[in-house]
Structure 1
Amino acid sequence: MAAAEPKPPAGVAAARRLARGCWSAFWDYETPKVIVVKNRRLGVMYRSVQLLILLYFVWYVFIVQKSYQDSETGPESSVITKVKGITLSEHKVWDVEEYVKPPEGGSVFSIITRIEVTPFQSLGTCAESMRVNSATCDSDEDCVAGQLDMLGNGLRTGRCVPYYHGSSKTCEVTGWCPVEDGASVSQFLGKMAPNFTILVKNSIHYPKFQFSKGNIEHRKDGYLKHCTFHEVSDLYCPIFKLGYIVEQAGENFTELAHTGGVIGVIINWDCDLDLSASKCNPKYSFRRLDPKHVPASSGYNFRFAKYYKINGSTTRTLIKAYGIRIDIIVHGQAGKFSLIPTIINLATALTSIGVGSFLCDWILLTFMNKNKVYSHKKFDKVCTPRHSSGSWPVTLALVLGQAPPPPYPCSTDPGEAGHLQGEGQSQEGAVPPPRPRPTSAPSEQMVDAPSRGAGPGLCASQPSQQDYTLTDARGLAQL
């Protein structure tokens, strides 16, 4: 006799059964089952969610965001500026060449409104500024010769000398003398500055749509020589007064002229290219860009010097300038109808409507009183026949539901299937047939209990011999 094969351990057998079950379940196909639930509250919630989603996509996505368009952001842009005007200070008349820095007319420029002038600086030795750390002294021992402070004005000589005014003393340095703090004179240029005019030429181009436009109206009657900007009547006359820009930014001109600041002129080109080109117009806005309420970083100033020679020695005038810096910022977005984004957003809208079904199904299967009945009605397990029938009308009738086959268990073991099927038949023979009821009753559609002849897990199988003869003549006629 052959030796009996050793049985695998129970854990290994269980693991194999689990693996076979997972592999079999992997190839299952799931299809939705439609159940009509006669519940007013659940129906109101379902339709309300659908309505909200529909309103969101119609109003916000398609009307406000215009998601049916192909869009392009960040147009190609060029900016040219020109400032005109004169002003007075305590000592002289200032013109554009002196108070505009840099003079090239780019998108960023400064208009000087106040200066602190230190005249006749020459290379020599003088007292250091008291603002420099450890610059004050009482004797020469407090000053180290050759010491160089990066925040100072020169190289220390080692001597302690009297300051420019008062009784204080500071260490002597070699550099441009006198230093700024000791001999500077302040001059205000902002008396007539609010009347300065600024011409801003801007042209944009959207390469994706081959669309270009400028912010100046094409007229041959000298229109720009006598106009100033107005949002309604003179939109295409981009000549702004400096006082108007500061006012629109919400600032006080006198305070801003003393401390300096940065003002942004924002030009926005939002264009709907489905309309005519005349509907694509620039929109101007103004705001202060530097942090006004942070003393350490608010304001704007810079230094420059003018050099000349006196008796063969180089001399310079140091100017610390406070001013209003103008930044021209251009941005925008253009859109035009395109079929691809329209289809994508329509598909997204139709898919999102299914959120209502998901929410109501969750409530139905979790919080409703008859959730087990609903779960049984919603989830069914159906097995396909192992062998195809020999008659195509029978097969087609089975698919269309005209001749339902007898159920049998979803099992791969023929013996087990036959055993369960026989058991079901014996139970069916012991129970009297149910009393016929109207098929149109809502309760029959909603809470119909499962058939007594088939236990849980039974599903469609190969039709028996008696099913080859169809009794539904109407169903064959429809075929």
Structure 2
Amino acid sequence: MKLLKNLLQYETFKMVKVKDKRLGLLYRVFQMTIFAYILYTIIANQGYLRKEAPVEGAVRISLQAPSTLTAPAYCNKLLPCVYWGANEIQYPPDGAGVAFVTTRAIVRRYVPPTGCNFLTPSTPTDPCIFNENMSPTQTITNESYIGDIEDYTLMIEHSIRGRATSIALRNGIMDGKLMFSDGKTVFKEWTSATRMKDNPNADGDIIKVSELLQAAGADLEAPSTAPGAKSGEQYRSSGIVIVIVIEYRNVKLKKDKFSYKYLPRVIDGNEYKAVESLYQADGSYILKERHGIRFVFEQHGEIGEFSLISLLENLVAALALFKVATVLVEILMLEFLPEKDIYEEAKFEVTNDLDELRKRSSNH
């Protein structure tokens, strides 16, 4: 019966003003701390924006030779060097999202046997089928390193747009940074002003190959970890893959201003090789076997526009944290302070059993 009475009782709130400076001070400190946290969270996480992942636009990479070529120390150690133009080193010459920069190459010409045409074999056993292991060859360029490749420069142009927002941007009007592979340390940075100051004709970011390698933590002289690499073979010989994430963000507290970071990282254990096949008018093939650096660009991040609804939603959710201040003070008041019995008596009041009172009233 007692259990039933306890279940059927009703609890209501009672406002008690506790005149205790210790509790009052603690309560205000908790409130101020929570308010500062809410303010920091909304600013740091840009809770005033309606955010979305950017729609990938175009990433265009072009290579340019230095004004003066030099003979690097690695030439004539393991292999001789050849000096190619930028359009020959980058394959294909105009990369979209990827750029392959040749570091080692060999060029051979394959001549068809007399009376044969490599393009006309009609049966599986036709002796005119091209086979690079069987067809007569002439070496045009001996196996060589590409000289002074680290001093070549890449110009990187990229753009993004929003899916639900009206945002549409290219990197030429944004501030950018090239980060080290740890993602925290800045290697190089640009603004709209400095980019044009360095090169008035620059449509994108100009970065030396050596700078990208250094930022990614790559060393072409280091032994390759690729499974297919020969014992002691260097990355300059086997090739290497570097993935560069372009991360976009709104600049905090600045309307319609955006920035990006290049986050490069070596894909350990990878090598890269490409073979370019060129059919000649005399019926022969020229095969350019290339090993080198493959730069792969990926676009990620979050961009957004100011939204009052997003701000209000985040504020309402954050304001619920103020209840934590009340809970903490009440726990201290009722469980830990010496006057807890006095506080409990003031806070909780139990009425008489009103059912009994009603029974007595009805009997009268």
> Normalised by the shorter chain, which TM-score bucket?
0.5 to 0.7
- 1:334–1:230: structure 2 CA closer, same or farther, 3 Å change rule? closer
Aligned to 1:365, what secondary structure does the other structure show? helix
C-alpha distance in 1 between matches for 2:86 and 2:29: 66
Q: How does 1:181-260 map to 2 (within 5 A)?
A: 186-189=143-146, 191-216=147-172, 231-232=190-191, 233-235=193-195, 237=202, 238=204, 239-255=206-222, 256-260=235-239
Contact 2:244 2:262 (C-alpha < 8 Å) held by counterparts: yes
* 2:266 counterpart of 1:289: yes
C-alpha distance in 2 between matches for 1:203 and 1:315: 38
Q: Percent identity?
A: 21
Q: CA deviation at 1:32?
A: 3.9
- Structure 1 letter corresponding to 2:99: F
Q: In terms of mean alpha carbon deviation, does 87-96 or 344-353 score higher?
A: 87-96
Contact 1:243 1:253 (C-alpha < 8 Å) held by counterparts: no
C-alpha distance in 1 between matches for 2:81 and 2:6: 99
Contact 1:261 1:288 (C-alpha < 8 Å) held by counterparts: no
Q: How does 1:320-331 map to 2 (within 5 A)?
A: 321-331=290-300
Structure-2 residue corresponding to 1:367: 336
- Structure 2 letter corresponding to 1:235: R
* 2:107 counterpart of 1:107: no
Which of 335, 339, 354 aligns to 1:410? It is 354
TM-score with structure 2 setting the length = 0.65
* 2:29 counterpart of 1:48: yes
Aligned to 1:54, what secondary structure does the other structure show? helix
* 2:275 counterpart of 1:304: yes
Deviations 1:92-142 (A, max 9, x none): 65345543334452101211101367886999xxxxxxxxxxxxxxxxxxx
Structure-2 residue corresponding to 1:82: 62
**Structure 2: any 5+ residue segments left out of the alignment?**
72-78, 114-130, 174-187, 197-201, 223-234
Q: CA deviation at 1:52?
A: 1.4
Q: CA deviation at 1:81?
A: 2.3
Which of 314, 328, 341 aligns to 2:310? It is 341
- Structure 2 letter corresponding to 1:356: A
Q: In terms of mean alpha carbon deviation, does 263-272 or 100-109 score higher?
A: 263-272
- 1:202–1:106: structure 2 CA closer, same or farther, 3 Å change rule? same
- 1:73–1:49: structure 2 CA closer, same or farther, 3 Å change rule? same
Structure-2 residue corresponding to 1:57: 38
- Structure 2 letter corresponding to 1:373: I
- Structure 1 letter corresponding to 2:190: E
Q: In terms of mean alpha carbon deviation, does 331-340 or 353-362 score higher?
A: 331-340
Q: CA deviation at 1:54?
A: 1.7
Q: CA deviation at 1:377?
A: 1.7
- 1:348–1:187: structure 2 CA closer, same or farther, 3 Å change rule? same
C-alpha distance in 2 between matches for 1:105 and 1:61: 40
- 1:323–1:412: structure 2 CA closer, same or farther, 3 Å change rule? farther
- 1:101–1:85: structure 2 CA closer, same or farther, 3 Å change rule? same
Structure number with bigger Rg: 1
Structure-2 residue corresponding to 1:376: 345
Aligned to 2:267, what secondary structure does the other structure show? coil
- 1:176–1:73: structure 2 CA closer, same or farther, 3 Å change rule? closer
Aligned to 1:101, what secondary structure does the other structure show? coil
Q: CA deviation at 1:30?
A: 2.2
C-alpha distance in 2 between matches for 1:333 and 1:378: 49
Number of matched pairs = 298
What's the C-alpha RMSD, in Å, of the aligned pairs? Answer: 4.2
C-alpha distance in 2 between matches for 1:372 and 1:416: 33
C-alpha distance in 2 between matches for 1:122 and 1:290: 40
- 1:205–1:352: structure 2 CA closer, same or farther, 3 Å change rule? same
Greater relative CO, 1 or 2 (CA 8 Å, sep 6+): 2
Structure-1 residue corresponding to 2:123: none
Structure-2 residue corresponding to 1:31: 13
Contact 1:263 1:325 (C-alpha < 8 Å) held by counterparts: yes
TM-score with structure 1 setting the length = 0.51
Aligned to 1:216, what secondary structure does the other structure show? helix
Q: CA deviation at 1:346?
A: 2.9
- 1:271–1:83: structure 2 CA closer, same or farther, 3 Å change rule? same
C-alpha distance in 1 between matches for 2:31 and 2:307: 27
Contact 2:272 2:294 (C-alpha < 8 Å) held by counterparts: no
Contact 1:203 1:214 (C-alpha < 8 Å) held by counterparts: yes
Aligned to 1:113, what secondary structure does the other structure show? strand
C-alpha distance in 2 between matches for 1:327 and 1:119: 30
- 1:318–1:203: structure 2 CA closer, same or farther, 3 Å change rule? closer
- 1:76–1:273: structure 2 CA closer, same or farther, 3 Å change rule? farther
